[in-house]
Amino acid sequence: MHTVPASGLLAASWLLIALPLAGAAVLLLGGRRTDRWGHLLGVATVAVAFVIGLACTVQLGGMSGSKSVNLDLFTFISAGTLDVKAGLLFDPLSAIFVLLITGVGSLIHIYSVGYMADDPGRRRFFAYLNLFVAAMLLLVLGNSYVALYVGWEGVGLASFLLIAFWYRRPAAVTAAKKAFVMNRVGDVGLALAIFIMFAQLGTTSFVGVLGSTGALAGGVLTALGLLLLLGACGKSGQFPLQAWLPDAMEGPTPVSALIHAATMVTAGVYLIARSAPIYDHAPAARTVVTIIGAITLMIGAIAGCAYDDIKKVLAYSTVSQIGYMFLAVGLGPIGYVAGLAHLLTHGFFKAGLFLGAGSVMHAMNDSVDMRRFGGLWRRMPVTFATFGLGYLALIGFPLLSGYWTKDAIIEAAFDHGGTTGYVLGGVGVLGAGLTAFYMTRLMFMTFFGRPRWDAGSASTPVDPHESPGVMTVPMIVLAVGSVAAGYLLTQAFPLSAWLSPVFGTNKLESHVVAPLWIGVLVIGAMVLGVAAAWLFVGRREVPVVRPARVSPVVRAARNALYADAINESLFMRPGQWLARALVFVDNRRVDGAVNGIAATLGGSSARLGRAQTGFVRSYALGMLGGAVVVAGALLAVTAG
């Protein structure tokens, strides 16, 4: 990896982070004085960051030679041989993330102006959103694993603050804590990986670490790969750390769109792609990545079929789609570009779907229960149209975004070869069918059928209506992206060419299974999924109350395959017992034993409590004892 120092506009790329950070600071410190215009400032900082990011990317595209631009800002931590610079690395990989974060971020900021219009905490909301954007940009722009880690935990904080944005709701508060703690579990993996890098190579910078992976032993590389994967699983809601992500839907819907669908939860994919030179030399770790991806994509897809909460279905869909991305980047050189392309298109259509869901909730008095929706397509045509395009893109409808990028992942899985290739590819095809099923079910329950909402109360009547322009315009833009991004990124302006300075060019000449057949398989699975949804949901009346007598399979899916129950019985409850037992031990045993000794030494009765009155005496006794020791010792010294 060879870098060149930043020049021109790229030398000012720190502004990308500084602007939203300054926005957050102004909004938080300014207090209520900034209430009137705070949201506008919040939108402006991100929009300007997008323009700067775009200009930086154009400059990068025009550069000849090395496309890794390094910008050292100041010495962050220097002690002993450890020397960590605060610095940025702008290369084709970070560029696509910068554009995704600031681009989709700007749209969601604009949408939030309308969505949060009636919330008196809107200024605080924009402050946190700005803070998130700054941290996320640091995550993808930092030029060392330490800088990445700072951004990594920074987005964790922003996510925590935004999930608990309505902090009076116990469910939101609990979900925020769960997200933070499960992320911390992953962060421990990332931290340990950084420690190993320093112990082995004496550096934590991308250039230093990724440029010398050849020197590392195989076991070290595998350990690094697995520890980084642990970090990635925490942040991206992958098995076994997936349970926090659906709960995170307690946050306002724009947060779900930006943080818990389009950007932050894809950071794990970024981490693995960024660490490609490590994974290239660690095939065992790579296999684990693909397995984790495959397991998670099935868990997400199965759980997505059973929930009635529109946001939870989309959340499990996100879990599942990121599983696809993990599967792809775990395949190594043939999968990186496919995974990242799906990440980008997913950023468009999933953000669009969440904004659509938010629009529906806006119309339905913040209800998320799909059993009480129905027939909404007449009342909210723009939402229906944009959501519908996002839906088609997600299930892989031919020629729309998801079709191109998901197919590429399944192709790469088959091309991996051997039994593994067939298993991974098969899981991918099965997942595509399930995706079509749960998303079609969602469409039927929300937009079609008979309206099932009740009239509401007199003060808050339920009267579904289309959202204002400030909300629908971002949805329309994202819908256009959902339609076109896949074609643009895979056919018109291939992402593989843009990213070739990072990953090299990997043209596979021969395929294990012909792409045509894979296309037929995937479309077949999709059609089956849609048909099944029609059979089970679309052609019948949806019961307003969830049926209680269901098969064990459905019950398991409704409980997201018992992930919470497992976490609780394996970690939380034993942890609580342990803590309680230790309190007992600490009070009775440790303290008691020491109290006993102390009391005996102090010459008072067995219970220290009674020593209170004897304090002056024991103090005097202690001093006397000390004096005797001193005198005796000094005598001994002079005599000797």
Find the binding residues for other proteins in span 578-597 (CB under 8 A): 578-580, 582-583, 586, 590-591, 594-595
Could you give the CA distance from residue 183 to residue 260 in angstroms, rounded to a whole number? 13
Q: How far is the CB of 411 from other proteins (least distance, A)?
A: 37
Through-space distance between the first and last CA atoms of the chain, rounded to whole angstroms: 70
Which of 111, 115, 128, 198 lies at the binding interface for other proteins (CB under 8 A)?
Answer: 198
Q: Residue 82 is inside which H or E element, if any?
A: strand 82-90
**Position 459 contacts other proteins (CB under 8 A):** no
Span of 39-47, 61-69, 235-243, 572-580 interacting with other proteins by CB under 8 A: 572-580
Q: In Å, what is the CA distance from 386 to each residue of 121, 313, 473, 513, 532?
A: 28, 18, 10, 35, 24
- The pairing of beta strand 82-90 with beta strand 69-79: antiparallel
Work out whether 500 is an interface residue with other proteins (CB under 8 A): no
Q: Which of 201, 259, 282, 392 binds other proteins (CB under 8 A)?
A: 201
Helices then strands, each counted (H, E), the chain: 27, 3
**Residue 379 binds other proteins, judged by CB under 8 A:** no
Contact 395, 439 (CB under 8 A): yes
The reply on whether position 487 binds other proteins by CB under 8 A is no
Instruction: Give the three-state DSSP class for 381.
Output: helix
CB of residue 174 vs other proteins: minimum separation in angstroms? Answer: 7
Min dist CB 84 to other proteins, Å, is 9
Number of residues that bind other proteins (CB under 8 A): 91
Residue 43 or 146: the one with the smaller Cβ distance to other proteins is 146
- In the bound state with other proteins, the residue whose beta carbon lies nearer, of 491 and 605, is 605
Closer residue to other proteins in complex, CB, 287/365: 365
Tokens 């940009």, residue located: 137
- 570 or 633: CB nearest other proteins: 633
| Shortest distance in whole angstroms from residue 163 CB to other proteins | 11
Distance CA 341, CA 409 (A): 9
CA 1 from centroid of its chain's CA atoms = 27
Task: For residue 92, say if its preceding peptide bond is cis, omega within 30 degrees of 0.
Answer: no
* Span of 272-280, 405-413, 515-523, 575-583 interacting with other proteins by CB under 8 A: 575-583
- Give which of 338, 342, 319 is closest to 330, Cα–Cα: 338
Alpha-carbon distance 129 to 545, whole Å? 36
On whether the CB atoms of residues 327 and 294 are closer than 8 A, the answer is yes
Stretch that binds other proteins, among 101-109, 379-387, 553-561, 604-612 (CB under 8 A): 604-612
Of 4, 188, 514, 553, which one interacts with other proteins (CB under 8 A)?
188
Q: Does 192 bind other proteins (CB under 8 A)?
A: yes
Residues 282 and 224: beta-carbon distance below 8 Å: yes
Contact in structure between 12 and 136 (CB atoms under 8 Å): no
What is the smallest separation between the CB atom of 553 and other proteins, expressed in angstroms? 23
422 forms part of the interface with other proteins (CB under 8 A): no
| Residue whose entry in the numeric block shows the structure tokens 């005598």 | 635
Closest separation in Å from C-beta 593 to other proteins: 9
Quick one: which of 26, 63, 173, 470 contacts other proteins (CB under 8 A)? 173
Q: Does 493 bind other proteins (CB under 8 A)?
A: no
In this structure, the number of other CB atoms found within 10 A of the CB of residue 253 comes to: 28
> Does 573 engage in binding with other proteins (CB under 8 A)?
no
Distance CA 416, CA 395 (A): 23
Q: Is 137 in contact with 151 (CB distance < 8 Å)?
A: yes
Q: Find, among 453, 488, 446, the residue nearest to 353 by Cα.
A: 446
82 forms bridges with which residues in the sheet?
79
Where in 621-640 is the site for other proteins (CB under 8 A)? 622, 625-626, 629-630, 633-634, 636-637, 640
Q: How far is the CB of 204 from other proteins (least distance, A)?
A: 8
Closest distance between other proteins and the C-beta of residue 491, in Å? 40
Q: Which stretch binds other proteins (CB under 8 A): 94-102, 115-123, 333-341, 516-524?
A: 115-123
Residues of span 79-98 touching other proteins by CB under 8 A? 79-82
Which two three-digit tokens encode residue 170?
Answer: 């116990």
Shortest distance (Å) from residue 29 CB to other proteins: 10
Residue 171 found at the interface with other proteins (CB under 8 A): yes
Q: Is 418 in the site for other proteins (CB under 8 A)?
A: no
Q: Is 163 left (phi over 0), alpha (psi -120 to 50) or beta?
A: alpha
d(CA 197, CA 210) in angstroms, rounded, equals 10
Q: Which is nearer to other proteins, 535 or 583 (CB)?
A: 583
Our CB check for other proteins shows the closer of 81 and 419 to be: 81
Q: Contact between 457 and other proteins (CB under 8 A)?
A: no
- The owner of tokens 């993996």 is 189
118 sits near other proteins (criterion: CB under 8 A): yes
Residue at 370: amino acid letter: M
Q: Both tokens of residue 588?
A: 């009775």
For position 367 contacting other proteins by CB under 8 A, the verdict is yes
